[in-house]
Structure 1
Amino acid sequence: MSTSPHSSLQEAKHGLGQRLREIRKDSGLTARALAAFAGWHESKCSRIEHGRTPPSDEDIRAWTLHCGVPEQAPDLIAVARGIEGAYVEWRRLERSGLRSVQESVVPVWERTRRYRFYSPNLIPGPLQTHGYIAALLTAIRDRRGLADDLEAAVQTRLDKQRVLHDRAPGSRFFSIVLEESALRYRIGSADVMADQLHHLLAVASIPTVSLGIIPLEADRSQLWPTEGFFMFDDEQVNVELVSAHLTVTQPHEIGLYAKTFADLAALSLVGVAARGRITAALHALG
């Protein structure tokens, strides 16, 4: 199973702290001496080394300067900024509205060739209809009190779907695994949901799309539902939390998500059986 997003972030902070601790120890300085040289409270070094306080750019420059390795500062600053950018609160991402959030992910969508998406409760973005997107983003706008750029945001998300229809040989491939519950959760009106399910049936016929549905009755004793996630090649995983957007880039963590995705895919129904579950969800709408 994948590690929790919060524990992954803490692991990255701890790793940076340990690296700074090794630099300090190699220099022969005690934490108290380093703090004195830098003009800090003596507890600051301990908080940084244990991952409790993220170091600023100036903290890292002072740390490396007093430890005699100022040339290491640029690399350490890049690591620290990467950790900071890995966990971004929605209120920070959405301060300019919903459209900017949709636009911010366009580069990774366009450079990716292999997409692996797992969703326990929603139809993923590339497969969404206009009505489904509008219902989702309207709820987000209203719940978070955001600027009203809804139509522009919807159109930007629809424009991203062009990657789904790139038919050049070997260009892109989508592997998508949904929990059957994602077919049943009502987003928008019954008509919106029916249109979405019909669209899902159509998309499932695209040769570059593999769609799997994990049935409700699947044995989950070894692999219970986990957080939804989006894998872009073997370079990046995105996880949408209640409060923030998480970006995972460490190779060993990406490997855990890849293993989890393969295990989830093994539980899923594909082909005729998957389409049967979608059709059943359509009938349940009446």
Structure 2
Amino acid sequence: MQPSSSSSAQQARQLLAGRLRDLRRDAGLTAIELAARAGWERTKVSKIEHATRPPSAADVRAWCEICGAESETADLLASLHSAEGMWVEWRRMERSGLRHAQEARLPLYERTRQFRGYSCWVVPGLIQTEDYTRAVLRAYQQRRGVHDDVEAAVAARMKRQRVLRRHQRTAAFLVEESVLRNGFGGSAVMRGQCAHLAEVTTWPAVSLGVIPVSADRGMASPVEDFWIFDNDQVNVELVSGYLTVTQPTEIALYAQMFARLSEIAIFGGRARDLIAAAHQ
């Protein structure tokens, strides 16, 4: 489990570490004694209990067995898997190809009623054209060296877009002006994508704002791409992996940033003019 800057992920690791430490203490064992019985290096227990080294599932099972707490194993394994799920490296998520990563997120999209998404470098997936999606996913596949199932992944993403057509769904997207000029797939693909974005600005349940390069940023500086699903979770796409944020205080921070970015974005006809100018 990759360390991350999210206190959600760190808190989950610390809670698990604290429960393991309590089991050891209840069993009357020192950290060194537990390590010796498990056949581990002397410092491993300390590192796990201080949340600087994540335990494996096998470590949790051995810990519970040595401490005479086998009844706690299932619950602790569930906590471990939950903590691991908050941070997933791309190479792990995409180890069998890109299609699985696209399909794995579908249940989240289907249960969400309000989408908010900000992007500083790529058009949000829910409003991509098929050709643009193909170009983006092909770039990912080549950069990360994963199995080539791009066409299947494209189909999965196109299927996921249907959630915007359903009743009682609303979506708000913000993109930096540079996104309109990044050039995935070449000029013809980008012209088609920009034409689609112009159409999106007219959809009644969708808001699309563009943040001009000339905007007075103030407190709304560019940040990492992020999605807010209702008020339940935030997903952040980083270079090395995919972060899930569930702490209410952190979700609120992303919502506040989205509101600040919305204040400097342009919408409607002005946004369409900027979109049209990008690939005339």
Output the TM-score relative to the length of structure 1: 0.85
SS of residue in 2 equivalent to 1:211: strand
Q: Tell me what 2:131 maps to.
A: 131
Deviations 1:19-55 (A, max 9, x none): 4334544665432343345443331111101212211
Amino acid at match of 1:235: D
Cα distance in 1 for partners of 2:142, 2:185 equals 14
| Residues 252-261 or 46-55, more deviating | 252-261
Deviations 1:68-119 (A, max 9, x none): 6544433322121112222222222223222222212111111111111110
Deviations 1:223-255 (A, max 9, x none): 311110122222222222222222223333323
- CA separation of 1:65/1:153 partners in 2, compared to 1, >3 Å: closer, same or farther? closer
| Residues 109-118 or 138-147, more deviating | 138-147
Cα distance in 2 for partners of 1:34, 1:211 equals 56
Pick aligned residue for 1:196 from 193, 197, 203: 193
Amino acid at match of 1:264: L
Structure 2, unaligned runs of 5 or more: none
Pick aligned residue for 1:232 from 229, 245, 251: 229
Cα distance in 2 for partners of 1:153, 1:183 equals 23
Amino acid at match of 2:48: I
| Residues 30-39 or 222-231, more deviating | 30-39
Q: Tell me what 2:35 maps to.
A: 35
Cα distance in 1 for partners of 2:63, 2:249 equals 28
Cα distance in 2 for partners of 1:220, 1:176 equals 18
Cα distance in 1 for partners of 2:262, 2:70 equals 48
Q: Tell me what 1:172 maps to.
A: 169
Q: Tell me what 1:253 maps to.
A: 250
Q: What is the Cα deviation at residue 64 of structure 1? A: 4.2
- CA separation of 1:241/1:190 partners in 2, compared to 1, >3 Å: closer, same or farther? same
Percent same amino acid at aligned positions? 50
Q: Tell me what 2:21 maps to.
A: 21
Q: What is the Cα deviation at residue 174 of structure 1? A: 0.4
SS of residue in 2 equivalent to 1:7: coil
Please tell me whether the aligned partners of residues 95 and 146 of structure 2 are also in contact (alpha carbons under 8 angstroms): yes
Cα distance in 1 for partners of 2:246, 2:71 equals 24
Pick aligned residue for 2:208 from 211, 229, 240: 211
Cα distance in 2 for partners of 1:229, 1:6 equals 15
Q: Tell me what 1:7 maps to.
A: 5
Cα distance in 2 for partners of 1:225, 1:108 equals 26
- CA separation of 1:217/1:258 partners in 2, compared to 1, >3 Å: closer, same or farther? same
Amino acid at match of 1:6: S
Please tell me whether the aligned partners of residues 227 and 235 of structure 2 are also in contact (alpha carbons under 8 angstroms): yes
Cα distance in 2 for partners of 1:212, 1:264 equals 9
Q: What is the Cα deviation at residue 260 of structure 1? A: 2.1
| Residues 79-88 or 114-123, more deviating | 79-88
Cα distance in 2 for partners of 1:29, 1:261 equals 49
| Residues 247-256 or 134-143, more deviating | 247-256
Q: What is the Cα deviation at residue 67 of structure 1? A: 4.9
1:80 aligns with 2:77: no
Q: What is the Cα deviation at residue 121 of structure 1? A: 1.1
| Residues 119-128 or 44-53, more deviating | 44-53
Q: What is the Cα deviation at residue 145 of structure 1? A: 3.2
| Residues 146-155 or 79-88, more deviating | 146-155
SS of residue in 1 equivalent to 2:239: coil
